[in-house]
Amino acid sequence: MKIGELGQIAQCTVETVRYYEKEGLLPQPERTAGNFRSYGPQHLERLRFIRNCRALDMTHGEIRTLLEVMDAPAAGCGRVNALLDEHIGHVDARIAELMQLKQQLGELRHQCQAEQPVAACGILQGLVSMESEARQERHTHLG
């Protein structure tokens, strides 16, 4: 099948497919006489795997590791389990950060209930005077 069909089945754009190939996540397919990429079912399976990992917000680095493990039939899957645990840790950390953020934003929001001149707006005042504690280093790759 050609790249458009592959992308449609795997729910991503052709540009994304080509990008994964350039990144080495997806192997280079055969080409037709007219230089079009020609994919088989094994490419589709691999692309699905990648998209599923991305849907779980894994990085390309994490995905690359998983693919390497899969490509080594003799290997055990301990590394996979560890990677997943770590990734769950990232998600937990980010959730905690966002909950705290939400609380701060809620407090700020309460400081202005109605439209007023900007000089009187409690939100803007809060944003000027807030003391943001030194932002800690990130424990997650999630934005």
Partner DNA sequence: CTCACACCCTGAAGCTACTATAGAGTCAAG
Partner DNA sequence: CTTGACTCTATAGTAGCTTCAGGGTGTGAG
* Chain residues that interact with its own copies, rule: CB under 8 A: 11, 45, 48-49, 51-53, 55-57, 66, 69-70, 72-78, 80-81, 84-85, 87-88, 91-92, 94-95, 98-99, 101-102, 104-106, 108-109, 112, 115-121, 123-124, 127-128, 130, 132, 134-135, 141-143
Closest CA to 42 of 31, 54, 66, 26: 26
Report yes or no: 38 and 27 within 8 Å, Cβ to Cβ: no
The correct pick among 24, 42, 49, 61 for binding DNA (CB under 7 A) is 61
Residues 104-143 that bind DNA (CB under 7 A): 141
Report yes or no: 56 and 18 within 8 Å, Cβ to Cβ: no
Q: Give the whole-angstrom CA distance, residue 54 versus residue 41.
A: 20
Q: Give the whole-angstrom CA distance, residue 86 versus residue 84.
A: 5
Which of the listed partners (its own copies, DNA, none) does 26 bind, with a CB threshold of 5 to 8 Å by partner kind?
A: none
Q: Give the whole-angstrom CA distance, residue 57 versus residue 62.
A: 10
Q: Which is nearer to DNA, 60 or 122 (CB)?
A: 60
Measured in degrees and rounded to the nearest 5, phi and psi for residue 101 equal: -60, -45
Q: Which is nearer to its own copies, 3 or 10 (CB)?
A: 10
Which of the listed partners (its own copies, DNA, none) does 4 bind, with a CB threshold of 5 to 8 Å by partner kind?
A: DNA
